[in-house]
Amino acid sequence: MTIARQTGSGATIYSVAEHAGVSIATVSRVIQRPEVVAAGTRQRVLDAIETLSYVPVSAARSLAVRHHEAHGLVLPELSGPYYAELLMGFEARAAELGQSVILLLADSKSDLPRAVRQLATRVDALAVFGEVVDQPSVQRVLQAGKPVVVIAGEHRAGVESIAAENTSSAAQLTEHVLKHGRKRLLFVGDPDAAPDISGRYAGFVQAHRSRRRKPADPVRIAFRENDGTAFADRMLTGEHVADALVCANDELALSIMTRLQDAGHSVPDDVAVVGWDDVMTSRYVRPGLTTVRQPVGGLGRLAAERLHELVSGGAVNDDPQVLPTRIVLRQSCGCPPGGVPAPPRS
């Protein structure tokens, strides 16, 4: 069964039942075993939950004697190395703290806000990546008293947030490319897609303006391998002209570099290519990829740790926690072999 508990919105299981015209047992079944409830009744209950902004709390998790914590993690997807590393860091720290983890992949959900609310019934706290969950959904979880940590998202008052540094490192990376004598730089990736990408483009712009140069508009593409390959094909036809590419992540940089090389172009002689993340492949390709190393696993570990502290009664940090990043110089920017990483920028 589900024990009634007052949420921040004032709704309880009783008010939901009254609004939907059903018993509290039916509300409980819709929450815990929706497949056993008739479609029409189930929809009335779900609509009532939506209208009343109710986030239910399971009985097992409302008992004062319970010691085990369950934490939810909402990610866009698991393709590519970034999200896998983030998840591993989160799970590793959760295991050290005796927490279990329930993962929700946003891209697979047709109704993400509802999926998040349902996840909130099964966990004590929630970590959300970037902007994959709209603000009203996060607010409903907060109203229910559930701690929330946003990873690499826009900082909002009253919500814990953690991120890696982007703008200063991007400015330093772009300045380094400009010092190689490159004059026509393009930023590849859509700054509007995520706050961290926006920060990287801001650094790209900052480096140009510090030299009194006009930065090019960003090439607004998504961040997967096939997007990089498609961009490289357009570059080969002359649609885009550049002697250096500052890519929003390594997945784009590596796919672009490989496609250009397959077509007979030299990196970095014809075009320099730099990325972001320092995935494992970056150090093994030839030329080695100049990039920015960010503590992806560290973001996951910190998120799990902060959730545990918040569940234990800790206060929300008013300011975002920003982890330092580090430029890694290899040969794709024009550096000779043996490039030494630059000091951290925080």
Residue 140 has pLDDT above 80, yes or no: no
Where residue 162 falls among pLDDT bands split at 50, 70, 90?
very high
The 8-class DSSP code of residue 313 comes to: T
Which ranges of the chain does DSSP label H, i.e. alpha helix?
Answer: 13-20, 24-32, 39-52, 59-62, 81-96, 112-120, 135-143, 167-179, 195-210, 225-236, 250-262, 296-311
Taking the CA atoms of 76, 79, 81 and 84 in sequence, report the sign of the dihedral they define.
positive
Decide the pairing of beta strands 326-328 and 291-293.
antiparallel
Please determine whether the domains at 1-66 and 68-162+296-315 fall in the same fold group of CATH. Answer: no
Instruction: Name the CATH superfamily housing domain 1-66.
Output: lambda repressor-like DNA-binding domains (1.10.260.40)
pLDDT digits (tens, 9 = 90+) for 195-218: 999 999 999 999 999 999 999 999
b/e 139-156 (16+ beta carbons within 10 angstroms → b) = bbbbbbebbbbbbbbbbe
Contact criterion met (CB below 8 Å) for 274 and 252: no
d(CA 319, CA 160): 8
Task: Write down the domain spans for the chain.
Answer: 1-66, 68-162+296-315, 167-293
Fold exhibited by the domain 68-162+296-315: Rossmann fold (3.40.50)
Please tell me the least confidently modeled range out of 54-68, 218-232, 306-320: 54-68
The CATH code of domain 167-293 reads 3.40.50.2300
Q: Which two tokens stand for residue 265?
A: 């172009």
Residue 8 has pLDDT above 50, yes or no: no
Q: Which two tokens stand for residue 109?
A: 């959900």
pLDDT digits (tens, 9 = 90+) for 258-303: 999 999 999 999 999 999 999 989 999 999 999 999 999 999 999 9
